[in-house]
A = this chain, B = another copy of it.
Amino acid sequence: MSTQALTEQASQAVTAWTRLLRGHASATRALNAKLVAEHGLTVNDYEALRQLSQAEDRSMRRVDLAAHLFLTASGVTRLLNGLEAAGFVEKGVCREDARVTYAVLTEAGHRKLAEASASHVAAIRELFEERFSTSELAALTDLLSRLPRVAGADGACPPPE
């Protein structure tokens, strides 16, 4: 590969990165504003509820939830503080390891997620389907999936609470 090609490749990586920054910023700004206005949830609140709703027993170890959301341990404590105060999430204990605390989606949390999903999913679809065909969506998803993911399996532990 020539020096010229190397330079092009370098600026290509930088261009991809800045597009990722801008694309994330614009999409997050738009989707978050609507979600907060209509349902009082931030995008991260919503993602936390969604992760929990898809997990077994609708619960996850707090440390695993942090990893999935790319938050620090303290970040997840503070995010969950808000969701617990609203009654959407509860704490659960782990009978095998007293260090572990679970985040458990409540019935109210599940209802809130369903309620918010109607308009939030519509907003996501509008934003993405307006710009991408079905095959392009698949390509975009595939490419983005190659960026670093959560490491390691989630800690197992018998049903909490």
A→B interface (CB under 8 Å): 9-10, 12-31, 43, 47, 69-70, 121, 124-125, 127-129, 131-132, 134, 136-141, 143-149
Contact = CB atoms under 8 A, between A and B. Distances in A.
A46 to B, nearest CB: 10
Interface of A is mostly: helix
Contact of A10 (B14, B26, B28, B125): B125
A147 B130 CA distance: 10
B22 A147 contact: yes
Given A24-B20, A24-B24, A70-B29, A143 B140 contact: yes
A8 B149 CA distance: 23
A146 B69 CA distance: 25
Contact of A20 (B16, B23, B69): B23
